[in-house]
Structure 1
Amino acid sequence: MTFGSSDKVLSAVLASLSDQDKIELLNGDGLWRTKANYDLNIPEIVMTDGAHGVRYSITQMENGGDERGSLRDFLAIVNQTAQGRGNATVGLTRPATCFPNGNLLGCSWDVDLARDLGAALAAECQHFGIHLLLGPGINIRRTPLAGRSYEYYSEDPVLTGDLAAGFIDGLQENGVGAALKHFACNNSEIERTTMSSDVEPRALREIYLAGFERAIRKSRPWTVMSSYNRINGEQASASPGLLTAILRDEWGYDGVVLSDWHGIKDRPASLLAGNDLDMPESRRRREDALAAIADGTLPRHVVDRSVVRVLRLIEKAKAGERPGSTCDFERHHLLARRAALESIVLLKNHEAALPLDTASPSEILVVGREALEPSIQGSGSATTNPTRVDGPLEEIVRHAGQNVRVRHLEGPLDADDRAGIEATVAAALEADSVIVFAGTPSDGDGEASDRRDLRLASGQDPLITRLVESGRRVVVVLTMPDAVEMPWIDGVHAVLASFFPGQGGGQAIAAILFGEANPSGKLSVTFPRKLGDVPGIHSYPGENGRHAYSEGIFVGYRSYDLREIEPLFPFGHGLSFTRFEYEDLVLDAEEVGAGRSVNVSLTVRNAGTREGREIVQLYLAPHRPGLRRPPRELKGFAKVALEPGQTCRVELRLEPRDFLHFDAASGGWCLDAEGFRVEVGASSRDIRLTRTLRCIVDSRPRRRLTTDTQPKYLLENPQAVAAVSKLLSTRLAISEDEAVRVLELTRTWFLGVHQALSWYIGDDLSVDEFQALLDRVNGDAHDAPSESAR
């Protein structure tokens, strides 16, 4: 086989394979390889985790091992806690660059940066002989408690999809495949292989699938990974509606679908659904597939279809490999620093507390173990053994210079360590500024475990509160997987959110603290004031194996805006050491209709005194939509760099899809609103400029009619009015105009239309006869799709 083999060549290969050969090709060989067939010149390809760093385990990649040993190694990886969240703890793992995790990279809002990281990871994959990197992970950060929030970019599908597309392009343009994961609704780690994510069709399409659809349309990943969980009662890895009807038939995806590791429970069902590659190796699942072929329940053409997809994947992977490649780990470390610099968010900066002054003699007290042993990444299968780690304390000392004395205390051990808290406060009274490094507990989150609350590690909240009471200038640097509560926020002077910043985070934090770099990150999620404000928290984490996504489409900022709840920090928020002004918003149209796009442009001015980068956010707010919609939704963004006094014309585009909502009744995307307000802002709660668009709707989606439909809804359907009035005309021996007037008399009835009409024409109109008439009005095109296909 060679890359680009013709269908004829592939057919010949297929004909040469036995059923056993085919099923082996569709199952892993150990933990990280596909099965080779050297007799037919079919090589294996190698894959590994993860999206923020290449995890190459020597013990697993090079030493082989049986299936039982592979499972033991896999479980050890998944269940690790990664002490200090800094180093891989399982087996011998080759050092690789640990870049900022998805939770921080999302705050960059920088597609070009995501592409650069993808390219760097591709170079390291080539160096290690890896063909497929298992990422990016792009599940929506529906709740900040979710254990794998640190892997994912955002609560918004537009930002998520665009960053993923950039990352995938950087990876695949350099010969290494991506595995877009976890498809879909992997939003909690609690009972993740059995819990059903129960999501209404509209929320599934507009929120949880939209990021995948956007990334696939823009970047065509080589593979998509199915998730562990069930969706509306059906295993995601065996859902024909998800993996075939939506992913392939509707979106046109033609790549390989592979399972999450041991995520398939019924191998024949998964193949029928469109899940091609079963990872890792499993003798039982191979035997189940062969038995299904033998008894005819698994047709050979289904197996052959998956085999061809896997063969195509192997061709691309082998064509892209660069044997003997080396990579520049030092350059990648500098990229890790830059990525952290571009992404860290300055949440608060009261009275310009930052940057810290180094010109005059002063003393800084640095508090917290995180300054010595930073949490650079989350724990689980994506954990990377970093090539080096920039220590925050060391970098602070280096950046502070000779005029500033820096001292360090680890601080209290926990909330009961009152002596430790008071000793820290006493030391703070001798300092001009206090920098507190704080974070979340390392033993309650990560893969296979959600957080229990939004609090910092024990002792940190009372410590910060006491430091505020002491009257010192307090700066807090946070490392965490997602949002945290900040009961002390009103008293501190500044807060930096570094999430999990990767191995270059220490240098990036110090550079921002001392003003050598201007922060430009903005939040990709909303920070609530308390856990009770989180959308859908009343139904989290589910009961009896089912988790209702009770907030529907109102995820993240959409819900805070709808409920008019003031968040701690809004989606899109982030401060700078300079100031930006927005001017002259122009649209190239005054109205929008079906299939139409709108170009948006504005001027951004750096009105401050230093260079900076601004993230311009484009939102759309519907006016009187047909179905209830969020007050505003992100539709585009751009990041621009400006010198003091410089202006830049920013151009954005609203695509036809941006104006649509998903209508579950019709099973499609619909344009239905009186108009839209185009909003441009610095965050979802800082809208600077607005313009309005009229909306021209050719036809509105119609609800499916039944005998119990209230008459007023039938009267909204001209086709139904014509059909029913004709029936009334015949039954009552009146004109059709008179029949329409009779029908109008039922408009205010709260009972069903059949019962209302029976008042006028008697009981001789059967329910079945009337429903048959309505079915003809509804038409076959309005048949409701199955739950799994929505």
Structure 2
Amino acid sequence: MVQDTHDDMTLLVDQMTAAEKADLLSGQGLWKTAAIERLGIPSILMTDGAYGVRYSTTQINAGDSDDNSLQGFLALVNQQADEAGTMFGTTRPATCFPNGNLLGCSWDIDLAYRMGAALAAECQNFGVHLLLGPGINTRRTPLAGRAYEYYSEDPIINGDLAAALICGMQDNGVGASLKHFACNNSEIERTTTSSDVDERALREIYLAGFERAIEKGRPWTVMSAYNPVNGIHATQNAWLLTTVLREQWGYDGLVVSDWHAIRDRPASLTAGTDLDMPESKPRKAQLLTAIEGGGIDRETIDASCRRVLDLVQRCKANEKPGTPADLEDHHVLSRQIAAESIVLLRNENAALPLDASASPRILVVGNGAVAPVIQGSGSATTNPYRVDIPFEQICKRAGEHCTIRHMPFDVETTADAASAINTVLHAAADCDVVLVFTENEKSRNGEGNDRDTLKLVKGHDDLIGALAAAGRRVVVVLSMPDTVEMPWLHKVDAVLACFFPGQGGGEAIARVLFGDQNPCGKLSTSMPVRIEDIPGWHTYPGEHDHHIYSEGVFVGYRYYDLKAIAPAFPFGHGLSYTDFSYENLSINRETIAPGESCTVTVTIRNTGKIAGKEIVQLYVRPVRPGLKRPIRELKAFSKVHLERGEAKTIDLLLHPRDFQHFDVSRSNWVLDAEAFIIEVASSSRDIRQSRNVACERQVFPLKKLSTRSSPSLIFSHPQAENALKSFLVAKLLLSKEEAVAILDQVRKSFLGFYDTLSWYVGDSVPEAEIAAVLDELNQTEE
């Protein structure tokens, strides 16, 4: 296949039969596009890989028959993380990088790019052309089964990290598939339950991350989601896939369906889903019938064929067969990403880092220290090349003069939980510090399931509380898909949030515990105190196939700010072993006008004793906006490395959109506020410095006035009072003072303008004459 221009692609499509077009727009087996040998069109290979390349030799190398594809696909989706090597046959070892839930806490564009480049190298080694990731659905609720794959509750982090990962992959010749477009926020009846979201929330939150990633990363493909959006399946949603994605955002790549997500193949093609994956003989037959019967516009069919051919050409032009992949080097990178993403939530009295000489007796409790939970369950699960065991890495760090013991703790298999806790308490009696490795309750978790609790594994809360009550120095190490409840939080000395840290997590945890790595991760989602505090909890998970996103634009920290609820830990929170000061905030504009950007400058100084990294967060806070808006919203961030005593001055750019909100009544982004407060912060609840800038509001056409309009609307027109006063003086032969007195009475009414006026002047003023006055006022705005 040598065609590489639009004209060449068009000529090739013109040669295709209807059956060949139907083949090209459908998968071949589970993981390939269709090859058309008659025209020299090869197939390309794709596979899952949000945080690692999952290459199943039994599925990919066994041929392209779809006889057993559904069984194989369901086995893949339903697998558990610890079954990655056995559930679906032989899977090639690959690097299992930190999952999205931890990578999001890095806030590190460079690390995301390097991870993308490493994923691309492994794809090239395996012969994979397209990796199905990254996933950036908004982490609207911590209960979502696939929350572990996604980065954040905020579109700025989602978009910027995704764009970096995409560029890292595609700069190295492997395509990305940005997914799941859109509002794939729950696994409960995920193919039938409609995500019902108002347009403003869609534009400002749920679509904004995709828009940002597409603008910055230009992914070769976008994957449409399983769920309906506002009653229409995402794969068949023309507003989503054509109006927004292609016409408004200018996306010119390929749209591929999630696996078996399409219900009506002709409708999905018309709406904008180009490629149906995987192969389905019934859906392919539907498509062929529609093509032959004229049920789909020919240009729609041919445009989708050209996009498939363009993807195939691009993938084949960039493939590098036999490219070696340095898995050892990638393991080092996996360790680094995890170490720079782990969040130190709490550190009372400098409990961390550990000093082996000052704390020579360490007790490590919990199965997670020897059998770590490194990733979530489902189609993204990766067979890790190697796995760092936390207990082993801790022992290496502690040295020969430190006594370290490990104790398992599993009350699920113990008849007497109190006895198990007492056994640990007895062992801890002569220890200097107790490290408790714990994780969330696993009864429902991973793809295909939403969690139904934020609690830890049975007995772990009681164990941690008992250790703290006994006066032990307790450090809790959490592995989790998203937040958990921590009833013991203020009784323990330190807490590390490791989420799902990938295969290098054990070494990364040891580095942070002993201070070889100064923690620099920060939360990319808020952590509620209890499950009932979750935004939208009262409408979760929906009823009668509809899930109403009742919190609107107030997602995550926006909700906690609005409701003045103190979370357990706020968005953007993360401690360090050093301290940072924020100095000399300045803004290069005094007023923000429509279409204008501005640069915010601030100096960050390391005032502590060791080198470290600070994540500087920039929030914009509107003052008296035209519509109700979140109190503050993240708009930019920067991760800064500083040696002890060092200071750096950084610039953060704010674009016109960063000051706007989406006005549904105008179907557009608008600038409408009295002023803005620009805040630089260490978290959404730790604002370090702020400055005010005035706002030059956009001038909008006034609403059309009629006799039925409310008096408040009538008098909002700058010329209305004088025009009406003059009319009443001339019509009724009143003094100016008498006319003003009547209008002041009318002004107080909540009824229609003419209905109110007639109470004071009777029928002496025909409605038609008032309508004429209002029409003249309307014309002054045209």
Do both share a fold (TM > 0.5)?
A: yes
What pairs with 1:430-509 in structure 2 (closer than 5 Å)? Answer: 430-509=430-509
Structure 1, residues 656-697: CA drift from partner, whole Å, max 9, x if none? 110000001111000000000000011001110111000011
Partner of 1:181: 179
Note closer, same or farther for the CA distance 1:47–1:733 as it changes in structure 2 (3 Å cut): farther
Corresponding position of 2:593: 593
Q: Deviations over 1:520-555 (max 9, x none)?
A: 000000001111111110110001111111111111
In structure 1, the residue matched to 2:74 is 75
Residues of 2 paired with 1:764 and 1:40: CA distance?
83
2:11 partner amino acid: A
SS at structure 2 position matched to 1:635: strand
CA contact (8 A) 1:338 1:508 kept: yes
Paired letter, 2:420: G
Displacement after TM superposition at 1:441 (Å) = 2.7
Decide whether aligned partners of structure 1 residues 696 and 4 sit closer, same or farther in structure 2, where only a CA change above 3 A counts. farther
Q: 1:361 to 1:777 in 2, by over 3 A?
A: same
Partner in structure 2 of residue 407 of structure 1: 405
Q: Distance in 2 between matches of 1:237 and 1:556?
A: 27
Q: Which residue of 2 aligns with 1:31?
A: 30
The Cα of 1:413 is off from its aligned counterpart by: 1.9
> Per-residue displacement from partner, 1:74-97 (whole Å, max 9, x unpaired)?
1111112223x8756321100000
Contact residue 25 and residue 35 of structure 1 kept, 8 A: yes
Q: Deviations over 1:80-138 (max 9, x none)?
A: 2223x875632110000000000000000001110000000000000011111111000
CA deviation string 1:225-258 (max 9, x = no partner): 1111111111111111111111111111111111
Cα distance in 1 between the residues matched to 2:455 and 2:496: 16
Task: Report deviation, 1:716.
Answer: 2.9
The aligned residue for residue 160 of structure 1 is 158
Q: Secondary structure at the match of 1:73?
A: helix
How far apart are 1:360 and its partner, in Å?
Answer: 4.3
CA distance in 2, matches of 1:25, 1:710: 59
CA positional deviation for 1:758: 6.3
The alpha-carbon distance between structure 1 residues 43 and 646, as it changes in their structure 2 partners (threshold 3 A), is same
Which residue pairs with 1:120 in the alignment?
A: 118
Amino acid at match of 1:149: A
Q: Any conservation in 1 of the 2:223–2:256 contact (CA below 8 Å)?
A: yes
Deviations 1:159-210 (A, max 9, x none): 1111111111101100111100111111111111011111111111101011
Match in the other structure for 1:608: 608
Contact 1:86–1:374, Cα closer than 8 Å, also in 2: no
* Cα drift, residue 720 of structure 1: 9.0
2: CA distance, partners of 1:762 / 1:3: 83
Inter-partner Cα distance in structure 2 for 1:558 and 1:340: 27
Q: Which runs of 5+ in 1 are unaligned?
A: 783-790
1:614 partner SS:
strand
Q: Is the 8 A contact 1:88 1:383 kept in 2?
A: no
Q: CA deviation at 1:288?
A: 1.4
Secondary structure at 1:224 match in 2: strand
**Cross-structure match for 1:351:** 349
Pairing 1:660-699 to 2, within 5 Å after superposition: 660-699=660-699
Structure 1 residue matching 2:716: 3-state secondary structure: coil
Cα gap change, 1:92 to 1:533, in 2 (>3 Å): same
User: 1:529 is matched with which residue?
Assistant: 529
**One-letter code of the match for 1:428?**
A
Consecutive unaligned residues in structure 2, runs of 5 or more: none
Q: Residue 217 of structure 1 is aligned with which of 215, 218, 223?
A: 215
Letter in 2 for 1:389: V
Residue 636 of structure 1 corresponds to which residue in structure 2? 636
Matches within 5 A, 1:43-58: 43-58=42-57
Asked if 1:427 is matched to 2:427, the reply is: yes
Taking a change above 3 Å as real, the CA distance of residues 143 and 771 of structure 1, as seen in their structure-2 partners, is farther
- 1: distance between equivalents of 2:265 and 2:724? 50
Q: Which moved more, 1:710-719 or 1:9-18?
A: 710-719
Distance 1:729 1:217, change over 3 A: farther
Distance 1:367 1:618, change over 3 A: same
Shift of 1:66: 3.3
Q: How does 1:242-261 map onto structure 2 within 5 Å?
A: 242-261=240-259
Question: Using a 3 Å threshold, how does the CA distance of structure 1 residues 502 and 298 change in structure 2: closer, same or farther?
Answer: same
Cα offset, 1:595, TM superposition: 0.6
| Cα distance in 1, alignment partners of residues 112 and 189 from structure 2 | 31
Contact 2:58 2:88 in 1 (8 A): no
**Contact 1:360–1:403 (8 Å) recurs in 2:** no
Describe the SS at the equivalent of 1:161. helix
Amino acid at match of 2:628: R
Give the Cα separation in 2 of the matches to 1:184 and 1:663.
20
Offset at 1:8? 2.2
Tell me how far 1:746 sits from its aligned partner.
Answer: 3.7
Counterpart code for 1:505 = G
Distance (Å, rounded) in 1 between the aligned partners of 2:523 and 2:536: 20
1:228 is paired with a residue whose SS is coil
Question: Who is 1:788 aligned against?
Answer: none
Give the counterpart letter for 1:560 in structure 2: Y
Correspondence for 1:102 among 100, 103, 110: 100
Q: What is the distance in 1 between the residues matched to 2:37 and 2:382?
A: 32
Deviations 1:406-463 (A, max 9, x none): 1011114249622111111111112111000000133411111000011111111111
**Normalized against structure 2, the TM-score is what?**
0.94
CA offset digits 1:496-528 (Å, max 9, x no partner): 000000000000000111111111000000001
TM-superposed CA distance for 1:755, in Å, is 4.3
Question: Structure 1 residues 244, 714: CA separation in 2 closer, same or farther (over 3 Å shift)?
Answer: farther
Q: Secondary structure at the match of 2:96?
A: coil
CA 1:766–1:272: 2 relative to 1, 3 Å: farther
8 Å contact from structure 2 (residues 441, 454) kept in 1: no
**2:745 equivalent to 1:749:** no
**1:366 counterpart SS class:** strand
Q: Which residue of 1 aligns with 2:541?
A: 541
Which stretch shows the higher mean deviation, 648-657 or 416-425? 416-425
CA distance in 2, matches of 1:617, 1:705: 44
- The CA distance in 2 between the partners of 1:340 and 1:254, in whole Å, is 35
Q: How far apart are 1:736 and its partner, in Å?
A: 14
CA contact (8 A) 1:361 1:403 kept: no
SS of equivalent to 2:201: helix
Say how many residue pairs are matched.
779
Using the alignment, how far apart are the partners of 1:107 and 1:776 within structure 2? Answer: 58
Change (3 A) 1:609 1:278: same
In structure 2, how many angstroms separate the alpha carbons of the residues matched to 1:420 and 1:190?
Answer: 36
1:621 aligns with 2:621: yes
Whole-Å Cα distance in 2 between the matches of residues 419 and 539 of structure 1?
41
Residues 776/315 of structure 1: CA separation in 2 closer, same or farther (3 Å cut):
farther
* In 2, Cα distance between equivalents of 1:454 and 1:80: 22
Q: What is aligned with 1:571?
A: 571
Query: RMSD in angstroms over aligned alpha carbons?
Result: 3.0
- CA 1:262 to 1:423, structure 2 compared with 1: closer, same or farther past 3 Å? same
Change in Cα spacing, 1:300 to 1:479, as seen in structure 2 (3 Å) is: same
Q: What residue is the counterpart of 1:19 in the other structure?
A: 18
Q: Given that residues 116 and 170 in structure 1 are in contact (C-alpha distance below 8 angstroms), is that contact kept between their aligned partners in structure 2? A: yes
SS state of the match for residue 218, structure 1?
helix
Paired AA for residue 7 in structure 1: H
Equivalents in 1 of 2:652, 2:729: separation in Å? 55
Distance change (3 Å), C-alpha of 1:7 and 1:658: same
Following the alignment from structure 2 to structure 1, what is the Cα–Cα distance between the partners of residues 291 and 707?
A: 46
Q: Counterpart in 2 of 1:204?
A: 202
Relative distance call for 1:54 and 1:756 in structure 2 (3 A) is farther
1:240 corresponds to 2:235: no
Q: Which residue identity is paired with 1:421?
A: I
Cα pair distance change 1:742/1:364, threshold 3 Å: same
CA distance in 1 between partners of 2:143 and 2:199 (Å) = 24
